[in-house]
Amino acid sequence: MRTIAMAWRNIFRQKRRTLIALSALIVGLAGLVAFQGYIARMMSSFRDGTILGGLGHVQVAGGERYWEDGEYDPYAYLLKDANSVIDELRKQPGVLAAFPSTGFTAIAGFGEKSVTLLVKAYPSERMYFSAPAVPGSPPEQAPSDLFRLGLLLAGRAPGPEERDCLVLGETAARILGAKPGDIVTLMGMLPEGALNGRDFTVSGIYRDSGRDKIFAFTDYATAMDFSRIAQPPVVHAILSDPGRADAVMASLPKDLARRGWRDLASYYIQVNTMFAGFLQVIRAIILIVTLFILGNTMNRIVFERMREWGTLRAMGTPRRGLLVLVLLEGSFLGLAGSALGIALGFAASSVVNLFGGLPFRQGAGFPIYMITLAPDARAVWFNMLPAVATAALASLFPARRAVGMTPAECLRQI
Amino acid sequence: MPLISVRKVEKHYQLGKTQAPALLGIDLEVDAGERLCLMGPSGSGKSTLLNIIGCIDSSSAGSVVIDGQDTAELDDASLSRFRNKTMGFVFQSFNLIPVLSVFENVEYPLLLQDLPSKERKNRVLALLERVGLAEYWRRNPENLSGGQRQRVAIARALVTRPRLVIADEPTAALDHTTGATIMDLMVEMNESFESTLIFSSHDPAVARYARRIVRLADGRIDSDGAAA
């Protein structure tokens, strides 16, 4: 206990030097915690945007291969009884909504122009298009049980009773030269291979980076009628908590093909993994800088206190006791530095959040919205334990130097 | 049997490629309860001999037997335990641990022994009372005068009731009056604790506190006799 008390008190002997030695760790970890908070909230928004952008937290399809080529050939994987799947899903706790979807590939013609479209169809009450931001007004709160399909630039989404309406992507609409109210003709392939053509009214034009060139949306009933199918290829479930996806999937009958959002949102997973790796690299750089700075400081401390080490050894402290004392002092430095850095990171995040957060824009032409920082409480351990270990490592070589000398050699040092 | 038996002890320091002799064939026996002063000019080998007797340095040749134990036979851990139980040290610069209070400084050697906390406390407070610092037990050593610090160091050296107390120039950092007070205290402690006291000094006024004076010159014993 006395060794612990001595090591702890030792770090306050030269407060200014201790603070300077720890500055890299404190500032680095504070920045890392705040940045982690920013990334966490951004990735959380990105995850929700991906899941609610048309995937759902859980999908149940008519076959495992649906997720490989169902986008282009959905008729090959139709469910046997979609309603029973929907009923089964709705029984599970945490399921906010369960509904079918279908889709078909079509050539859209308007006047002299044509484009190829992937038409996605959801029940109209499950489709949500955000309105353009009004400068000065608070950001729109999107419902959490609807698919958010993009920013509505013109027109509107199909109403509950409206049929044969189409929401075109901005790029496709520009190529066709179509605007809300125009009639475009869709020529799509039926399950048997025959072609079906029908006129659709452009009800709206949406923008969504990466999708508005090829994806168009219509209501589920229209798409089922157009495709002449009785069952959809897939059913989606939206959950209140993404963490429940595995439990919901496990509760479904074994013969149903199912996928959770972690398997479906591969782009999100890639980006999240990339950011996690990026944060690890930043943490490693901070720890390496800390290793060198604290190593240098501990070296000086050990050298300056040689007479003290000699005295302790003369009184009977074994080499191991001295080694423990120096390692503890280094570890306490790491503990104090990381605790201060993490506390500063949380405090800085709170201050940023007081001002509404940091601005974020999904892409050019999209509204800017503010992201609040959400530092993870687990960051305390993720950052503190490596920092303490690094500080202990930084103390190891100076400590070995101290115990490598005889007490008399230590006492001779001035 | 003498408490300390030093036989043909030599010590050479390695200075680059050359060896500097510090002690050359020292033979010395010290009985229990003796009060011995090592005298000699700077560089005569006083501190080196004290360090070797105190087991905080090793000799280049020869043997040192203390209380029947050949110190060369002990490994580092055993030697540390041996020092803790058998010896107490008083240093010229006091060498108190600045992050420990007066009480904690004196208590430190006892923490290395398996003594109950109550006994440790009793022993420390009794010794602080003996050296006249009972009321300062909570203080930090930095808030004490040089003389008071050396009293704390004496209490620390005696708290384990060692058979041997080694003091290297214990008054060198003190003024004459304070030095005399410290030496009076050390003599009193030597007599009441029946410990053996070996101290070094080049000051004849300090040496007169010894019963026996060993004079060193150029690493050899020049004279060994009773103090005048």
The whole-angstrom distance between residue A220's C-alpha and the CA centroid of its chain comes to 30
Query: What pLDDT is attached to residue B122?
Result: 94
Domain spans of chain B? Answer: 34-52+84-226
Q: Check CB contact under 8 Å for B108 and A320.
A: no
Residue A73 forms part of a structural domain = yes
Per residue in B196-206, pLDDT (tens digit) is: 999 999 888 89
Q: Looking at chain A, which residue has its C-alpha nearest residue B156?
A: A315
Nearest to B58 among A13, A315, A406 (CB): A406
Contacts of residue A9 in chain B, CB cutoff 8 Å? Answer: 99-100
pLDDT bin (cut points 50, 70, 90) of residue B226 is confident
Residues A139, A196 share a domain: yes
Alpha-carbon distance B109 to nearest alpha carbon in chain A (angstroms): 6
Contacts of residue A13 in chain B, CB cutoff 8 Å? Answer: 98-99
Q: Say which residues have a Cβ less than 8 Å from residue B5's Cβ, sequence separation at least 6.
A: B28, B29, B63, B64, B65, B66
Residues A145, A6 share a domain: no
Q: Looking at chain B, which residue has its C-alpha nearest residue A306?
A: B95
Q: Check CB contact under 8 Å for B112 and A411.
A: no
Alpha-carbon distance A340 to nearest alpha carbon in chain B (angstroms): 23
* Domain interval for residue A164: 63-255
Those residues of chain A whose CB sits closer than 8 Å to some CB in chain B are 2, 5-6, 9-10, 13, 307-308, 310-321, 406-409, 411
The CATH number of B34-52+84-226 is which of 3.30.160.20, 3.40.50.150, 3.30.300.30, 3.40.50.300? 3.40.50.300
- The mean pLDDT of B171-196, rounded to a whole number, is 87
Q: Encode burial over A68-96: b for 16+ CB neighbours within 10 A, e otherwise.
A: eebeebbbebbbeebeebbebbeebebbe
Give the pairing type, strands A195-207 and A147-155. antiparallel
Alpha-carbon distance B117 to nearest alpha carbon in chain A (angstroms): 12
Tokens linked to A239: 């959950």
Task: Tell me the pTM.
Answer: 0.77
Q: How far is CA A3 from CA A163, B81, B87, B179, in A?
A: 80, 17, 21, 32
Instruction: Indicate which of B97, B104, B120 best probes the interface with A, i.e. most A CBs within 10 Å of its own CB.
Output: B97
pLDDT at B190 over 90: no
CA A317, A319, A324, A327 dihedral sign is positive
Query: What pLDDT is attached to residue A363?
Result: 59
Instruction: Indicate which of B51, B59, B64, B165 best probes the interface with A, i.e. most A CBs within 10 Å of its own CB.
Output: B51
SS3 A50: helix
Q: Say which residues have a Cβ less than 8 Å from residue B26's Cβ, sequence separation at least 6.
A: B6, B8, B9, B10, B45, B49, B62, B219, B220, B221
Pair A197, A185: CB distance under 8 Å: yes
Q: Which of A89, A86, A167 is nearest to A124 (CA)?
A: A167
The C-alpha angle with vertex A122 and arms to A119 and A124, in degrees rounded to 5, equals: 115
Residue where a domain stops, chosen among A222, A255, A288? A255
Nearest to B99 among A13, A311, A314 (CB): A13
Q: Check CB contact under 8 Å for A317 and B80.
A: yes
SS3 letters for A341-410? HHHHHHHHHHHHHHCCCEEEECCCCCCEEEECCCCCCCHHHHHHHHHHHHHHHHHHHHHHHHHCCCHHHH
Residue A51 forms part of a structural domain = no
Q: How many structural domains is chain A composed of? A: 2
- The mean pLDDT of B155-159, rounded to a whole number, is 91
Residue where a domain stops, chosen among A203, A225, A255? A255
Query: What pLDDT is attached to residue A131?
Result: 80
Per residue in A298-311, pLDDT (tens digit) is: 888 888 888 999 99
Residues A218, A157 share a domain: yes
Q: Say which residues have a Cβ less than 8 Å from residue B17's Cβ, sequence separation at least 6.
A: none
| Ordered alpha helix ranges (H), B28-175 | 46-53, 76-86, 102-111, 117-130, 146-158
Contacts of residue A317 in chain B, CB cutoff 8 Å? Answer: 80, 112
Q: How far is CA A216 from CA A59, A165, A262, B213, in A?
A: 20, 10, 25, 108
Residues A325, A184 share a domain: no
Query: What pLDDT is attached to residue B164?
Result: 93
Residue A281 forms part of a structural domain = yes
Q: What are phi and psi of B24, to 5 degrees?
A: -130, 95
Residue A368 forms part of a structural domain = yes
Q: Check CB contact under 8 Å for A2 and B108.
A: yes
Q: Looking at chain B, which residue has its C-alpha nearest residue A7?
A: B99
* Rounded Cα gap, residues B72 and B79, in angstroms: 9
Q: Say which residues have a Cβ less than 8 Å from residue A165's Cβ, sequence separation at least 6.
A: A158, A200, A201, A202, A203, A218, A219, A222
Residues A81, A40 share a domain: no
Query: What pLDDT is attached to residue A297?
Result: 86
Instruction: Indicate which of A3, A10, A315 best probes the interface with B, i.e. most B CBs within 10 Å of its own CB.
Output: A315
Tokens linked to A319: 């080499």
Contacts of residue B46 in chain A, CB cutoff 8 Å? Answer: none
Which residue stretches of chain A have pLDDT < 50? none
Query: What pLDDT is attached to residue A128?
Result: 92
Residue A58 forms part of a structural domain = no
Q: Check CB contact under 8 Å for B91 and A311.
A: yes
Q: Check CB contact under 8 Å for A408 and B109.
A: no
Those residues of chain B whose CB sits closer than 8 Å to some CB in chain A are 51, 54, 56-58, 76-77, 80-81, 83-85, 89, 91, 93, 95, 97-100, 104, 107-109, 111-112, 156
Residues A243, A110 share a domain: yes
Per residue in B15-46, pLDDT (tens digit) is: 888 888 899 999 999 999 999 999 998 889 99
Number of neighbouring beta carbons within 10 Å of residue B81 = 15
